[in-house]
């Protein structure tokens, strides 16, 4: 990722500022919103990374997009990045903030692979399972892979729990391959 070291420095600085105000959770929500908004909007991403567009114009667009949706600390980050002509790394700063925030709060990142997107009810059950397995909360990342057919594969850190139908079928196939059973015809 371009500008990762600089982004990490900005993210740490913003986290420290947020901790002083007891707003680190609010700013984390802001950073998730900022990262998702930029990731989902190619035009915004291109505009932020364009060397042709003035930093002042970029700041004004960010203000229009996020006004009333983010804290003053996040707005301050926009101003700081504008002053230092680093608005191009805003998405990376937001992602880095979330990573160090999760580490600070001992929140694991859980990757759940499912055949279809998770519903809110199933997501709640998965979160409960994560707390049961790890003893910690986790931020959830849903990966959709139709090849698993159904069920889910949960990965938290180096622990993997495979409850997919494709895994079940593979285990069943192994049992038949190693079985001495010969059907009568």
135: left (phi over 0), alpha (psi -120 to 50) or beta: left
Cβ neighbours of residue 114 under 8 Å, at least 6 residues apart? 142, 143, 144, 145, 148, 151, 152
Tens place of pLDDT per residue across the chain (185 aa): 456 889 999 999 999 999 998 998 999 999 999 999 999 999 999 999 999 999 889 999 999 999 999 999 999 999 999 999 899 999 999 999 998 888 787 767 788 888 888 888 888 888 887 777 777 777 788 888 888 888 888 887 777 778 788 777 878 788 777 766 666 66
Count the Cβ atoms, other than its own, within 10 Å of residue 12: 14
Joined tokens for residue 10: 């900005």
Residue with tokens 């900022």: 34
Count the Cβ atoms, other than its own, within 10 Å of residue 133: 16
Q: What is the distance between the alpha carbons of residues 13 and 160, in angstroms, rounded to a whole number?
A: 34
Residue with tokens 């009568």: 184
* Closest of 93, 34, 81, 35 to residue 55, by C-alpha: 81
CB distance 74 to 33 below 8 Å: no
pLDDT at 103: 78
pLDDT digit string, tens, across residues 94-124: 999 998 888 787 767 788 888 888 888 888 8
pLDDT at 177: 76
pLDDT digit string, tens, across residues 18-28: 999 899 899 99
pLDDT at 73: 93
Cβ neighbours of residue 16 under 8 Å, at least 6 residues apart? none
DSSP state of 174: H
* Closest of 120, 162, 155 to residue 141, by C-alpha: 155
Q: What is the distance between the alpha carbons of residues 87 and 38, in angstroms, rounded to a whole number?
A: 12
Question: 3-state DSSP call for residue 71?
Answer: coil
Question: 3-state DSSP call for residue 108?
Answer: strand
pTM, to two decimals: 0.61
């Amino acid at each position: 990722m371009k500008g990762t070291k600089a982004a990490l420095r900005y993210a740490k600085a913003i986290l420290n500022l947020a901790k002083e105000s007891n707003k680190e959770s609010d700013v984390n929500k802001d950073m998730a919103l900022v990262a998702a908004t930029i990731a989902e909007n190619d035009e915004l991403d291109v505009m932020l990374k364009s060397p042709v567009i003035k930093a002042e114009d970029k700041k004004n667009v960010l203000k229009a997009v996020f006004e009333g949706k983010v804290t003053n600390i996040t707005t301050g980050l926009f101003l700081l990045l504008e002053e230092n002509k680093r608005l191009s790394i805003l998405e990376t700063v937001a992602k880095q903030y979330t990573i160090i925030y999760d580490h600070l709060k001992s929140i694991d990142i859980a990757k759940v692979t499912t055949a279809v997107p998770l519903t809110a009810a199933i997501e709640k059950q998965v979160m409960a399972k994560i707390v049961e397995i790890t003893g910690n909360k986790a931020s959830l990342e849903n990966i959709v892979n139709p090849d698993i057919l159904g069920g889910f594969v949960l990965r938290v850190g180096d622990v993997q729990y495979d409850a997919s139908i494709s895994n079940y079928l593979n285990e069943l196939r192994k049992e038949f391959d190693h079985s001495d059973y010969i059907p009568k015809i």
